[in-house]
Structure 1
Amino acid sequence: MRKTLIVIALSFITAQAAIAAQATPWCTVDSVPDTTIKSLQKDADKRSADQSRAIARVHTEGTLPHQGIWDQSIEAKKDLPLIRELALIWRVNHDPAVLTHLTTLLDAWASIYQPSFNPIDETDFDAIIDAYAITEVDLPATTRDKVAALLHRWATGYIDQMLHNDKPGKGKWTNNWQSHRIKLATLSAVALGDTRLIDAARWQFLKQINQNLHSNGLSIDFEERDALHYTVYDLEPLVRAAMAARTIGQDWLNLQAENGASLAAGLNWLLPYARGEQTHEEYVHTTVKFDLQRRDAGVAGFTGMWEPKSSGQLYWLASTLDAHYLPVAQSLINQSAWIAACWQAR
C-alpha cells in the first residue's frame, strides 16, 4: 500500500511539473502602451470607492432591476472589474499603493463571499481569477491563501455540479449556463495549477461542445432563444476557458467533439452576422418567457435587430487564440483596455 501511495504521489508531482514546464504567463503582452495603462487607471479611478463593496451573495439572474437584491448586487459587482484593472496596473508599474488597494479588495471578497454556484450570477468573478493568476506571487500569503481557497471551491463545486446534475442533457445543463460553469471551473483550475481539476474541466468542455453546438457551429442557445445575443453569451465563456487552457499548452479552440463540432466552428458560424453579411431580428421566436418579460420591461437589447458590435469583445478574445478573428474584432469595436493590457492576437 505504501509503495502504491508513493507511486501515486510521484505521478501527481510529475503531472504538476509537466504543466509548469508548458505553462506560459497568464498575460502574454510584454509591453503595455502608456495609453492603455492610462485608460485602465482612468476606469479604475471611476470604479474606486472608499471601501470594498463585497457582499456574501450576489443575485441578478432571472430578476429585473429593483427586484430582490438586484440593485445591491450590481453595486457590489463594481468591485470586480476594478480588481482586474488594479492587477493589470500593478503588473506594469509595481506601485505599492496599487497592490495594497488590490489586496484589500481581494481579501474582503475572499473573506465574505459565499459561492452560490449559480454561473450566471457568478460569471463576472472571472475578474478575481484573472487578478489572482496575474499577481499570485506578489500577494501577501494570507490573502493569497484565502483567494486560492475561493478558487478551489469554485473549481470543485462547479465540476461536482456538472458531474452530478439531476437533469443531464437538458436546459441549463447544456445551454449557456453550462458554458459559464465551465469557464469558472477551468479558469480556477488553471490558475491553481491543479492537474486533476484541469482534466475534469477539459472533459466537461468537450462534452459541452458536443451537446451545445452542431457540427456547423449552430448553438442550441440560438435555437432556443432565437437571439444572437445568447450565441455570443454562450461562446464567450468557452473562449475564456480556451484562453486559460492555452497557457498550459492545450488547444481547446480546435478540439473536436464526437459530433464534429468545435469552438472554432461556433465562432465561424457567427462570423457572417458579425461582418454584417447577414442580419437577424432578435427573440422573435424565443421559447423563454423571461425574454419577453424583459422586452416588455424595456430592457435594452431584447427587441429589434441584432447589433454586430455586441460581438466585438468575443472576437477580440477569440483573436488571442487565432489571429484569423482579429480583422472582424477590429471592425466592430476598439479593444478594451483590460484585454489589450494582458493578451495579444496570435
Structure 2
Amino acid sequence: MRTGTRAAVHCTAILVAMLAGLLGWSSTTPAHAAMNFCAAPALQSGERTDADPGERALVQDAFARLNDAPRAVARLHTEGTLPHQGIHDRSAEAKQDFDWMRNAALAWRATGDQRFLRYVARLLDAWVTTYQPSFNPIDETKLDGLILAYDLTASALPVKTRNATIAFLRRLASGYVERIDSQPRPLQHTFANNWQSHRVKLIAMAAFTLDDRKLIDAAQRLFVEQVGTNIALDSTTRDFDERDALHYVTYDLQPLVMAALAARRHNRNWLRERSAYGATLERALDWLVPYALGRTSHQEFVHSRVPFDETRRAAGLRGFSGAWDPSRATELFHLAARLNGRYQPVALHLAPVPPPWLAVCLPLPARSSER
C-alpha cells in the first residue's frame, strides 16, 4: 500500500472512531470476561437491534445512570429496623448501587459499549475501598450484585480495580467462613435460619468467581450443612416453622438457588445435594410449588414467634399480614428454572418473562430432569 493510501485509510479510521463516539457506539468489539455465573455471550452487532424488550429496557436504564455518582458507604444496616429508623433509608438507597453495577455490567456484555464498563469500574473502586464488611448477611446480601458485576467484567477491568475487588471478595468470603466455623455444632439460631442461607450464597458466589479452591470446598461443605440444618424431613424450612410465613421460605431458598447456580457453572449439581437424612434444595422448592401455583394458600405470620414480625405488621409493611402473594416467588422460580427446566411452567405461571437482569444473564431455562 502506498504512503498516501495508507494515510487516507488511517484518517478514515480516526473519523469513523470519532463518529462512533459521538453517536454513542462502541468502537471496540465486546471483550471477554470471566463468566462464572452468567451464560449469555455478548451480542453481535447485527443482533442488537433485535434484542429482547427486557434487554433493551435494561440497557436503556443502565445508560440513564452512567453519570450517577457512587453512593458507597462504610456501613450498611437495614436488618431489624423499619424505614426511617437509624441509617435504614440511607442504606437502602446505597444498596441500589449493587443492582445498577450488575445491570451496567450486563449492558456492557450485551453491547460492548465501554461507557458501561467504566461505570462498573467506578462503582467497584468506590465500594471495595470504602465499605467495611460487618458480616451481617441480611445487611450484605445485596452484595451479590457487586459480585456479579465483577464476574462479568473481571478480565477487562483496570488492574488496580481488579486487584482491589479480588482482595475485598476474598476478605468477605473468608470472614464469613471463619465466623461460621467458629460456631458450635449443631448450628443454631441465625446460623441455621435464613441468615445462614445468605451467608452461604455470598461465600459460594465469591468462591467460584475467584476460583479459589479452598473457598469452593468450604462453600460446598457449608451449603450441604445448611440444607441439613434448615430443611426438615417434610421439606419445610426452619424459618417456616418459626415465622409461619412463605415470605421467609422464599427468602431462605432464593440465596441457596443463587449459590447452586454459581456451582452449576462449575459442573456441580447442588440442587440435589443431599443432607445426611436426604433433604435437598429441590425437595424444598417442590414443597413450595403448590403455593406458587395458587393451589394452596397461606395466611402470613399468624403464628410467628419473632416479635419483629408483629412490629412490621403493625407498621403496615406490605406482605406481613394477610394471604401470601405468589408473585413474591417470581424471581425464585425463574432462577430455579435455570437449575432445572421443570420449574419453568411455575415460573411462567408467575410471570411470562423473567426479571430483565436474569433474561440477559441466563436467557434460557435448563433442560428438564425429574428427580
Q: TM-score, normalised by structure 2?
A: 0.84
C-alpha distance in structure 1 between counterparts of 2:80 and 2:201, whole Å: 20
Task: Give distance in 1, aligned partners of 2:55 and 2:273.
Answer: 34
- SS of 2:361's equivalent? coil
Check 1:36–1:256 CA distance in 2 against 1; reply closer, same or farther (3 A cut): same
Give matches, 1:202-281, under 5 Å: 202-281=220-299
Aligned in 2, Cα 1:246/1:182: closer, same or farther, shift over 3 Å? Answer: same
**Partners of 1:26 and 1:247 within 8 A in 2:** yes
Q: 1:155 aligns with which of 154, 158, 173?
A: 173
Aligned residues of 1:213 and 1:262 also touching (Cα < 8 A): yes
| Whole-Å separation in 2 of the counterparts to 1:112 and 1:298 | 34
Cα shift at 1:144: 0.6
2:37 alignment partner in structure 1: 26
Structure 2 spans left out of the alignment, 5+ residues: 1-33, 44-50, 367-371
Which is higher, the Rg of structure 1 or of structure 2? 2
Q: CA deviation at 1:101?
A: 1.1
Q: Which runs of 5+ in 1 are unaligned?
A: 1-22
| Fraction of identical pairs, as percent | 46
Q: Against the structure 1 CA distance between its residues 278 and 47, is the aligned structure 2 distance closer, same or farther, given a 3 Å change threshold?
A: farther
Cα distance change, pair 154–25 in 1 and its aligned pair in 2 (3 A):
closer
Is 1:87–1:131's contact at 8 Å kept on the other side of the alignment?
Answer: yes
Structure 1 residues 78-131: Cα deviation after superposition (integer angstroms, max 9, x where no partner): 211100000001112111111111111111001101111000000001001001
Partner Cα distance (1:242, 1:168) in 2? 23
Shift of 1:30: 4.0
Return the alpha-carbon distance in structure 2 between the equivalents of residues 242 and 298 of structure 1: 34
Secondary structure at the aligned position of 1:276 is classed as: coil
Asked if 1:302 is matched to 2:320, the reply is yes
- The higher-RCO structure (CA 8 Å, 6+ apart) is 1
The reply on whether 1:320 has 2:331 as its aligned counterpart is no
Deviation digits for residues 243-282 of structure 1 (CA, Å, limit 9, x no counterpart): 0000111000011111110000010000010011100000
- Alpha-carbon deviation of 1:168? 4.6
Are residue 84 (structure 1) and residue 102 (structure 2) matched? yes
Q: How many residues are matched?
A: 324
1:31/1:52 CA distance change after superposition, 3 Å:
closer
Query: Deviations 1:198-232 (Å, cap 9, x if unpaired)?
Result: 00110000001001001331111100000000000
Q: 1:175 to 1:312 in 2, by over 3 A?
A: same
8 Å CA contact 2:297, 2:324 repeated in 1: yes
Query: Counterparts of 2:288 and 2:160 in 1: how far apart (Å)?
Result: 44
1:154 CA drift (Å): 1.3
Say which SS state the counterpart of residue 182 (structure 1) adopts.
Answer: helix
Q: Which of 355, 358, 365 is the matching residue for 1:345?
A: 365
Kindly report structure 1 stretches of 4+ aligned residues shifted beyond 6 Å: none
Partners of 2:42 and 2:349 in 1: how far apart?
A: 24
Answer yes or no: is the 8 Å Cα contact 1:167–1:173 preserved in 2. no
How far apart in 2 are the matches of 1:201 and 1:317? 19
In structure 2, the residue matched to 1:180 is 198
Q: 1:193 to 1:260 in 2, by over 3 A?
A: same
Residue 40 of structure 1 contacts residue 89 of structure 1 at CA under 8 Å; is this kept in 2? yes
Contact preservation (8 Å) 1:214, 1:259: no
Q: Distance in 2 between matches of 1:211 and 1:284?
A: 24
Task: Confirm whether residue 118 of structure 1 aligns to residue 129 of structure 2.
Answer: no
2:189 matched residue in structure 1: 171
- Mapped to 1, the partners of 2:97 and 2:304 lie a distance apart of 33
Q: 1:47 to 1:278 in 2, by over 3 A?
A: farther
Contact 1:190/1:198 (<8 A) preserved? yes
Aligned: 1:99 with 2:117 = yes
Aligned counterparts of 2:286 and 2:264: Cα–Cα separation in 1: 19
The residue type paired with residue 40 of structure 2 is V
Q: Do the aligned partners of 2:36 and 2:209 also contact (CA within 8 Å) in 1?
A: no
Offset of 1:75 from its aligned partner?
1.4
TM normalised by structure 1 equals: 0.90
Deviation of the 1:54 alpha carbon? 0.5
Q: Which residue of 2 aligns with 1:16?
A: none
* Structure-2 residue corresponding to 1:6: none
CA distance in 2, matches of 1:318, 1:129: 19
How far did 1:44 drift? 2.7
CA distance in 1, matches of 2:200, 2:36: 21
| Letter in structure 2 aligned against 1:140 | P
